[in-house]
C-alpha cells in the first residue's frame, strides 16, 4: 500500500491548477480520468462508494461477486456482497479489508449498489437487497455506525433487518405501480430534512413507451427514519435516469446519473440533474456530464477488451463522489469493459473539478 498520507488542502490546491478537459457546453464539472480504482481477479467489481476516514484514508464500499457464478452478469442480483477496500490516496491502490455485508440469500439476498455518507457525525451505508433473486422484491436497507470498522447496525427507524424503504402501498404515490420494487438509494441532509432519493420503474405511459425509469424521494425528520415517500416523483418522464448520486453544492441539490435514454449523447456517459429545492429536477436544466470510457482512453485501449456488460466504448455507470472539504473532488464509476483476461467488471476513478468553485 502507498505510504503517503492524504492531504485535503494539498488536493484542493492541485485541483485548482488542473486544465479543463472534455468540457461539455454549460457543464458544471470537469472529469479527468486517473486510472483503475478497484479490480479483482475472478470477480466482478461494480459500484464503488467512497468516504474519507478519520485518519485521512479513503474507504471504498464496493459491490462484488464471482465471475464464474453467472455467465450473463446476473450475479449482481443473485450472488453479490458488499466489500470494504482502503487506500492512503483517492487514486489508490485500494486493498481489500473485509466483506462488510455478506450475501445471506433468502429474504436478504445479494446486497448491491452500496452508497456511503457521513451525516450528523455518523456513517450511513445504504444499499439494495431482494428476496430469492426476484427483482420485483427489491428494497432499500440502511445501516449506521460510529466508525468504519464495519460495526454496522440497522437504522432504528426501519425494520429489524435495516429495511428502510419499500415501494409505496399508497395508490396516490408516484411509485405505487413500480414493477421492480424500489432501488438505488442516495441520501442527503437538506434544509433540516433527510432526503433518501430512490429509483423505481413505473408503468408505461404514452410519453415513455419503454417504461419510465425515474426517481423519487423519501423524507424523514431523523437520520435513522422512518422515511416516507414524497407523493410525486422528482424527475420527469422523457428523461430516464439510472444510478443517481445525490449531493448538495453551491446551495443547490444535484443528482449525477447515467444518460439511460441517450438524451444528450452516448448512453455510456452521464447527465447532471439540478434542483433548487430537492423535490423538482426540471428536464430543461439537465446537462451532460461524464462520457464513456473510450472518450478518455481512446478506442485502441478497449479494442480487444472483454465486454461483460455494455459495449466496446466502455459504458460508465454507478457514479459515486468523494467530497473533500465539502467540495466534490473525485468520481468513481463502474464499467463492464475490461481488457485484462481473468478479470470481470471494474471501477475507475476520475478527478471531478467544479468549473466555478466559488459560485453561490
Which residue's entry shows cell 417504461? Answer: 211
Reduced to 3 states (helix: H, G, I; strand: E, B; else coil), residue 224 is coil
| pLDDT score recorded for residue 209 | 57
Four-CA torsion 87, 88, 90, 96, nearest 10 degrees: 0
Tell me the C-alpha distance between 340 and 232, whole Å. Answer: 44
Are 59 and 92 in contact, with CB atoms under 8 Å apart? no
Q: Tens place of pLDDT for every residue, the chain, 360 residues?
A: 333 444 444 444 443 333 333 444 457 899 999 999 999 999 999 999 999 999 999 999 999 999 987 778 999 999 999 999 999 999 999 999 999 999 998 999 999 999 999 999 999 999 999 999 999 999 999 999 999 999 999 999 999 999 999 999 999 999 999 999 999 999 999 999 999 999 999 887 666 655 589 999 999 999 999 999 999 999 988 889 999 999 999 899 999 999 988 889 888 999 999 999 999 999 999 999 999 999 999 989 999 999 999 999 999 999 999 999 999 999 999 999 999 999 999 999 999 988 875 544
| pLDDT score recorded for residue 357 | 53
Four-CA torsion 118, 123, 126, 127, nearest 10 degrees: 120
The grid coordinates listed for 5 are 498520507
Which among 73, 57, 51, 27 has a CA at the least distance from the CA of 334? 73
Tell me whether residue 309 is exposed, middle or buried, using C-beta atoms within 10 angstroms of its C-beta: 0 to 12, 13 to 18, 19 or more.
Answer: middle
In the chain, where are the structural domains located?
Answer: 22-354
CB atoms within 10 A of CB 19: 7
| pLDDT score recorded for residue 261 | 85
The grid coordinates listed for 200 are 423505481
Which among 360, 355, 357 has a CA at the least distance from the CA of 23? 355
Strands 122-131 and 109-119: antiparallel
pTM score of the predicted model:
0.91
DSSP-derived letter for residue 74 is G
Which residue's entry shows cell 445471506? Answer: 104
| pLDDT score recorded for residue 60 | 98
| pLDDT score recorded for residue 206 | 67
| pLDDT score recorded for residue 293 | 97
Hey, what CATH class is 22-354 in? mainly beta
Tell me whether residue 336 is exposed, middle or buried, using C-beta atoms within 10 angstroms of its C-beta: 0 to 12, 13 to 18, 19 or more.
Answer: buried
Question: Cα-flanking dihedrals φ and ψ of residue 296, to 5°?
Answer: -95, -35
Run of H or E including 334: strand 327-335
| pLDDT score recorded for residue 359 | 47
Amino acid at each position: 500500500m502507498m505510504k503517503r498520507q492524504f492531504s485535503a488542502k494539498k488536493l484542493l490546491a492541485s485541483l485548482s491548477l488542473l486544465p479543463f478537459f472534455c468540457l461539455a457546453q454549460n457543464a458544471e464539472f470537469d472529469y479527468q480520468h486517473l486510472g483503475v480504482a478497484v479490480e479483482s481477479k475472478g470477480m466482478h467489481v461494480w459500484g464503488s462508494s467512497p468516504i474519507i476516514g478519520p485518519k485521512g484514508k479513503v474507504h471504498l464500499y464496493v459491490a462484488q461477486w464471482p465471475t464464474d457464478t453467472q455467465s450473463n452478469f446476473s450475479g449482481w442480483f443473485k450472488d453479490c456482497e458488499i466489500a470494504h477496500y482502503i487506500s492512503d490516496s483517492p487514486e489508490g491502490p485500494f486493498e481489500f479489508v473485509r466483506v462488510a455485508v455478506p450475501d445471506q440469500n433468502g429474504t436478504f439476498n445479494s446486497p448491491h449498489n452500496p452508497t456511503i455518507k457521513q451525516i450528523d457525525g455518523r456513517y450511513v451505508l445504504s444499499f439494495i437487497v431482494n428476496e430469492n433473486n426476484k427483482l420485483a422484491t427489491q428494497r432499500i436497507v440502511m445501516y449506521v455506525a460510529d466508525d468504519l470498522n464495519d460495526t454496522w447496525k440497522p437504522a432504528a427507524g426501519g425494520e429489524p433487518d435495516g429495511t428502510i424503504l419499500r415501494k409505496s402501498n399508497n395508490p396516490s404515490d408516484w411509485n405505487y405501480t413500480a414493477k421492480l420494487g424500489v432501488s438505488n438509494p442516495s441520501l442527503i441532509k437538506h434544509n433540516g430534512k433527510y432526503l433518501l432519493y430512490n429509483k423505481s420503474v413505473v408503468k408505461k405511459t404514452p410519453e415513455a413507451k419503454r417504461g419510465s425509469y425515474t426517481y423519487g424521494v423519501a423524507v424523514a425528520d431523523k437520520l435513522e427514519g422512518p422515511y416516507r415517500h414524497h407523493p410525486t416523483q422528482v424527475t420527469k418522464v422523457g428523461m430516464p435516469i439510472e444510478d443517481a448520486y445525490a449531493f448538495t453544492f453551491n446551495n443547490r441539490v444535484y443528482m449525477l446519473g447515467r444518460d439511460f435514454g441517450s438524451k444528450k449523447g452516448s448512453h455510456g456517459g452521464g447527465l447532471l440533474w439540478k434542483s433548487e429545492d430537492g423535490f423538482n429536477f426540471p428536464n430543461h436544466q439537465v446537462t451532460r456530464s461524464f462520457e464513456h470510457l473510450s472518450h478518455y482512453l481512446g478506442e485502441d485501449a478497449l479494442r480487444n477488451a472483454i465486454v461483460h456488460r455494455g459495449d466496446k466504448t466502455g459504458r460508465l455507470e454507478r457514479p459515486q463522489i468523494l467530497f473533500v472539504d465539502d467540495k466534490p473532488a473525485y468520481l468513481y464509476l463502474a464499467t463492464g469493459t475490461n481488457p485484462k483476461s481473468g478479470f470481470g467488471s471494474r471501477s475507475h476513478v476520475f478527478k471531478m473539478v467544479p468549473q466555478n468553485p466559488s459560485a453561490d
